Amino acid sequence: MNDDMLYEDRMSDADALMWNIEKDPALRSTITAVFTFDRAIDRDILTHRFERLSRVIPRLRQRVRSNPLSAAPPRWETDPYFDLGFHLWWVKAPGRATMRDLLSIAEPVAMSGFDRARPLWRAVVVEGLPGKKSALIMKVHHAITDGVGGMRLQLELLDMEPDAPEREMPPEPTIHVMSQPERFADALDHQTRHQLGLARRLANGVLGSAASALTDPIGTLAAGSELASSVGRVLRPASHPMSPLMVGRSLSSRFDTITVPLDGAKAAAKVAGGKLNDAFVGGVARGLYKYHLAHGIDCDELRMAIPINVRTAELENVAGNAFVPARLELPIDAEDPLDSMRQVHSMVDGARMEPANDLVEPVASILNRLPTTAVTALFGSMVKAVDFTTSNVPGAPFPVYLGGAKMEAQFPFGPLAGAALNITLLSYQNDLNIGIASDPAAVPDPDVLVRSLQAGFDEILAVAAKK
């Protein structure tokens, strides 16, 4: 699967920006997934599988190396001290080994920062679950991949059959630690090629704009005005969250889960003339409205962050991230669930069509040249005013296995990165597994939140049941 994947030697400007702003620990970008399996998995098989995975996916053996004397983005470089034992752990399930107990292990794993001198991932195998079952907690830095790319990574970890033979073990990657002169030369070469590419794009844009200005001056002026307006909308500052309730922020995170039937959610979205994401976000909006009502607060709008997938045909086989972060002031108080879904559909479509989405890399390139403290403060003020984040990742529609054990469920937990909540959906067979990451300072009563969200999804599902 990864034979045709392109792994660049350097981070993109957008990924480098995400990496650099982690000077503020509240802005860490960590993706965590909790897999549950119907049986225990042999330790030798798991060790072999992760050893192979670290050879097939170069990022899992690479560390990030920055050069403070260069404006070039950080390099990905094979770690000469790679130690699988540092990244792969085994633990026994605590307490009565319930899902709550399992999540209590995942929470500190997700909250802890990565060792920046090593590859940016960790896997914890949890044994001793009821019925001799097991679980896997896997954590990766967002700079390695987005959700869609993460599903590709899993194709190398998981099998499509319970008795699938072990795949061939590739050779270990070549190790070359650059000397300082090599780093300078490599950074200079990268910057030269980067600036030439930028100059070509700008020249084409200027020439194209000049030609358009001659043939359609009014249209050219309008397009330029719309682009400026789009940039203003995307980068607009926000001083505080819109929720009068979920205002506290900390460095802690609480995990909870909900499972919703995929066919029911799709049917509800179809009634509204929309897609699965409309049903998902519509359910979240209705649930958060109920959560505020449970505290005697009638809140009509919340600020939502949502990743807009920009993975084009050109980026299909390029490792890394391909999304644009959008922020929307989303109504949550619609009386009819159909209206909730239609509002989501309209607003997300509008965010997807923003002209400024094409400027993410150039803007990130400029921001990376500014003092890190200033950029961190800028983004911190923007994202800490976000009430909640949603993300929707398509998973396997068929059963998958690991070392002969069948995966029963997989729950995703995205980074809070300054928000009160991150609610992420990952489909598996006919289930929508929803991972809820909440900041305890903003949500001190997670049980009330989960009940409210479940009620919101029930209202969405009831739309299809009435038809």
What own/partner pairs with CB < 8 Å and gap ≥ 24 does 405-409 have? 405/37, 405/38, 405/39, 405/40, 405/41, 405/134, 406/37, 406/38, 406/39, 406/162, 407/35, 407/36, 407/37, 407/158, 408/36, 408/37, 408/38, 408/133, 409/35, 409/36, 409/259, 409/433
Cα gap 225→219, rounded to integer Å: 10
CA angle, 393 then 395 then 398, to 5°? 165
Q: Kindly list the distances between the CA atom of residue 271 and the CA atoms of 338, 370, 427, in Å, as whole numbers in the listed order.
A: 8, 48, 20
Q: Kindly list the distances between the CA atom of residue 227 and the CA atoms of 208, 306, 355, in Å, as whole numbers in the listed order.
A: 15, 21, 6
Q: Taking each helix axis as running N to C, give the angle between helix 276-293 and helix 337-352, from 0 to 180 degrees, rounded to the nearest 10.
A: 120
142 is catalytic: yes
Cα gap 415→32, rounded to integer Å: 8
DSSP three-state, residue 327? strand
Q: Are 414 and 436 in contact (CB under 8 A)?
A: no
Catalytic member of 141, 142, 292, 345: 142
Phi, psi of 349 (to 5 degrees): -60, -40
404 torsion bin: left (phi>0), alpha (psi -120 to 50), beta (else): left
Cα gap 409→425, rounded to integer Å: 12
Q: Are 300 and 287 in contact (CB under 8 A)?
A: no
Active site residues: 142
